[in-house]
Amino acid sequence: MRKLYSLFFHSKRGQATTEVVLLFPLFVIFIVFIIKIFGLLVLSQKMEIAGYYAARRFQLQSHETDYYHRTWDRRFLIKDIQKKVENYLGFDNPGIKKFLSLRKIKVDINTSGTWTKVVITAQTKPPRIRFLCNYNKDQVCDRDQRCLKGYAFLCETGGQVQVNKYVGHNERPAPYMRPEGKS
């Protein structure tokens, strides 16, 4: 028991406090970047799922007649799809909205002759890490285009994540009708 006590509670030489104090801010910066990158990965995966949902739902519930396409599809269906996509991505939850840095979302559905293109675009807020954004971007980046783009994402504008999905026309099979008129 005495050996165990002396092993844990007697003073020994340890890590220098200066090194720990100097490395702690770097550790915090590293953790913040990891969390923001993870948030962008989660956002891109959620947008892929939301894009599939929006495209498939529009394919199955839209109309091929011009009257219903201009009225019900445009007035109700597209607005309802956008509302469901916003809820799925986390616009109704302040914690998720802050974690994913969401600013706004736009759902565009464009129909053409054979394909329907569904484009979901999410605008994100800049993370604005205070101790990185205090410096002048011209001094930090020295006219490097990739650095300027990264600085703009981190401190000024944020980013944009876009998902494109293509679906065909609504081709639900009609029930088979026998020639006698009985199904």
Cα–Cα distance for residue pair 152/128, rounded to 1 Å: 10
Per-residue pLDDT, averaged over 96-107, amounts to: 90
Which sign, positive or negative, has the C-alpha torsion 171, 52, 83, 152? negative
Question: Tell me, what's the pLDDT at 62?
Answer: 83
Question: Tell me, what's the pLDDT at 19?
Answer: 72
More confident residue, 9 or 33: 33
More confident residue, 106 or 65: 106
Length reported for the chain = 183
Per-residue pLDDT, averaged over 85-95, amounts to: 92
Q: Which residues contact 127 (CB under 8 A, 6 or more apart)?
A: 32, 36, 101, 154
Is residue 86 within 8 Å of residue 104, measured between CB atoms? no
Residue 172: pLDDT band by 50, 70, 90 thresholds? low
Cα–Cα distance for residue pair 152/170, rounded to 1 Å: 42
More confident residue, 12 or 94: 94
Question: Tell me, what's the pLDDT at 171?
Answer: 60
pLDDT digits (tens, 9 = 90+) for 117-166: 899 999 988 877 776 778 888 887 887 888 888 888 878 888 888 999 98
Question: Tell me, what's the pLDDT at 181?
Answer: 55
Cα–Cα distance for residue pair 22/80, rounded to 1 Å: 52
**Residue 7: pLDDT above 80?**
no
| Span between the terminal Cα atoms of the chain, in Å | 88
pLDDT digits (tens, 9 = 90+) for 32-88: 778 888 888 899 999 999 999 999 998 888 877 777 777 888 889 999 999 999 999
Per-residue pLDDT, averaged over 8-16, amounts to: 58
Question: Tell me, what's the pLDDT at 168?
Answer: 81
Q: Per the structure block, which two tokens stand in for 107?
A: 């759902």
Helix axes 17-61, 78-89, angle to 10 degrees: 160
What is the residue extent of each domain of the chain?
A: 18-167
DSSP 109-134: EEE-SS-EEEEEEEEE-----HHHHT
pTM confidence score: 0.72
